[in-house]
Chains A and B, each alone.
Chain A
Amino acid sequence: EDQVTQSPEALRLQEGESSSLNCSYTVSGLRGLFWYRQDPGKGPEFLFTLYSAGEEKEKERLKATLTKKESFLHITAPKPEDSATYLCAVQAGRDDKIIFGKGTRLHILP
């Protein structure tokens, strides 16, 4: 069964304390992996798409990486405004179905 698992479920960091969020997947025929940010009461906002192992994308304090089994979202020197839920999604299979993980709730303390 195709699965996407994100860890940890929740993470509290001090401002400036770097860390990584994990998204592991077991799917047949990965076509793409997406990262989104979701603020409370709002819809998810697109961050990155990764297509192949070894690929990396960066945006401000965020960097996403991809291997054959997992993706990491690295957050460098985070600020309180980086607090949000981060969602990972994969597109896989012949029917290009998209499966979302349950997300990691990130809280950055000032």
Chain B
Amino acid sequence: IAGITQAPTSQILAAGRRMTLRCTQDMRHNAMYWYRQDLGLGLRLIHYSNTAGTTGKGEVPDGYSVSRANTDDFPLTLASAVPSQTSVYFCASSDSIGREAFFGQGTRLTVV
């Protein structure tokens, strides 16, 4: 089934630990995004990538890093997790920046 796959589905993480959230798409989309969704704050863009090999910062990039080594994969890394990074994380992709986006099912991360 075509779409976006995120892993893990949920995770409890000790503060200070390093964590990588995985995202893979099979639609050959050029653009990919990472959002976090928090109650009362809505969806906020963390990082994005227009095409393989390029990345950019979104609204809330601090504490997160991304890489885009190929078209399909866009991992999000938390170098040293803090409780304020507790959230639901969504990966998305689109044919290009500005086109409709397709979202994964989300990763629920709890940092304790």
Contacts and interface: CB of A to CB of B under 8 A. Distances in A.
A43 B36 CA distance: 11
B102 interface: yes
Contacts of A46: 100-102
A31 B33 CA distance: 18
Contact of B42 (A91, A96, A100): A100
Q: How large is the interface on B (under 10, 10 to 19, 20 to 34, 35 or more residues)?
A: 20 to 34
Contacts of B44: 100
A103 interface: yes
Interface string B31-72: 001010000111111000000000000110000000000000
Interface of B: 4, 33, 35, 40-45, 58-59, 90, 92, 97-106
10 contacts: A34-B100, A43-B92, A43-B103, A43-B104, A49-B99, A87-B43, A98-B33, A98-B98, A100-B35, A102-B41
